Amino acid sequence: MERVEVVELVAGWEGVQASTPGPGSDAPEIAWGDTFFSYAPDGVPASAQPFATIVTKDYPDDASAQLDRPGVFRVNVAAGRDAARAVAGATSDDDDPTELDRLRLHPVYGSLGWVAVANPGPRTAETLRTLLRDAYEAARTRAERRDRAR
């Protein structure tokens, strides 16, 4: 999957706001060029935390995947702890974090139920689509529950 395919897929779901900040935005410079997906049917995200992101570069606390390589991007998904446990069970301690098209726990937020894949391809595309859809549905359900509670 190309980055644009992921953006088009997720941004096409009802109520999704896809934001890719750049110069002149309120976002910190480190986030420029990355994409953040939030459930926001009224244009205002129901949560400050997106349900998925696409990052295109290393961050100071997260350089293990070497995202600064040309053409490399990583899709991060708030998959939930059960899905993250399944991913963790399918990995080993000697996994190469720079490997492309390999689903793994997010290097920083894995314990919070986030999973990640750099340059999703034939091995991970179908699973990634499911994880993204599930994360979207969970974000929508949380927002609807909050709305009902108000």
Q: How much is the average pLDDT of 85-111?
A: 85
- Of 111, 12, 13, 128, the C-alpha closest to 73 is 128
Q: What is the pLDDT of residue 16?
A: 96
- pLDDT tens track for 19-62: 999 999 999 999 999 999 999 988 877 677 899 999 999 999 99
* Per-residue pLDDT, 146: 81
* Distance (Å, whole) CA 132 – CA 17: 14
Q: Give the per-residue pLDDT at 138.
A: 96
93: pLDDT strictly greater than 70: no
In the chain, how many domains are there? 1
Q: What is the mean pLDDT of the chain?
A: 92
pLDDT category at 92 given cuts 50, 70, 90 is low
Order of strands across the sheet that contains 16-19: 16-19, 35-39, 52-55, 74-78, 114-118, 104-105
CATH for 36: 3.90.1150.30
Tens of pLDDT, residue by residue over 99-111, are 999 999 999 999 9
Q: What is the pLDDT of residue 45?
A: 77
Range of the domain at 123: 3-149
pLDDT number for residue 14: 96
Helix axes 3-11, 125-149, angle to 10 degrees: 30
